[in-house]
Structure 1
């Protein structure tokens, strides 16, 4: 069981990194450049994609926490884990609901006033993209 926990601890941050980088920094901006994609259509697609990604992130976080409980990592790894989970919590509890409401208004043809929440979400995604490989390296040190 210990070996499985260690493998999961190392694999999950890198898989999670790839998920966030691929969706947030490739798919999300590129979909609006596709022929025929309007802002409302792109927002509708984005809401579906990010809802699925966020659910997968919660699953990855839960499995990671179980793996960490089975084989306790170093204090720095716990700190980075806490930071990643904190970022995810802010995104899910504070920003995503507000961004969903905003997207619904735009899709309905009632654009709301400007907001900085989207920029905040992107900044937090960038923070995750930085922290996740660091976490993976910290957790992989047990293998060296």
Structure 2
């Protein structure tokens, strides 16, 4: 395996692990901890997801560079395109809505529950599947 695909495998599975650990483990569990209020949980969540999304953008840029260099098959490129598209929709369309609601809650206002969380989780699930597919395809080349 040459350097480009090897780096792509490593980045893919680290990215996948981070998303699984944070989105599907840490995020729901923090609200079950004793004495964690909604405001504290949202404050922690904003910091954690801002960090995760920053790292994800970095990983996406590495993957994009590898794809542009021509080191991946069309099927791998398609799987990565899905993952990158899901990340872009999360950052451009969903995160701003979630941020507006958390701003209201953190300011002590009574904000209605947001359906944007469901969109974010759905996009996250599709991104996870795309990363799994890309990783498996990279390993079988």
The two structures share one fold, judged by TM-score above 0.5: yes
Tell me, in whole angstroms, the C-alpha distance in 2 between the residues paired with 1:6 and 1:84: 17
Tell me, in whole angstroms, the C-alpha distance in 2 between the residues paired with 1:141 and 1:27: 31
**Cα offset, 1:71, TM superposition:** 4.0
- Residue segments in structure 2 that go unaligned for 5+ positions in a row: none
Q: Which residue of 2 aligns with 1:87?
A: 86
Q: Which residue of 2 aligns with 1:40?
A: 39
Tell me, in whole angstroms, the C-alpha distance in 2 between the residues paired with 1:29 and 1:114: 15
Q: Which residue of 1 aligns with 2:101?
A: 102
Give the alignment's TM-score, normalised by structure 2: 0.94
- Give aligned pairs, total: 141
Tell me, in whole angstroms, the C-alpha distance in 2 between the residues paired with 1:79 and 1:63: 16
Aligned-residue Cα RMSD (Å) equals: 1.4
- Residue segments in structure 1 that go unaligned for 5+ positions in a row: none
What is the correspondence of 1:15-30 to structure 2 with a 5 Å cutoff? 15-30=14-29
Deviates more, 1:46-55 or 1:78-87: 78-87
Tell me, in whole angstroms, the C-alpha distance in 1 between the residues paired with 2:44 and 2:13: 25
Give the alignment's TM-score, normalised by structure 1: 0.92
Q: Which residue of 1 aligns with 2:115?
A: 116
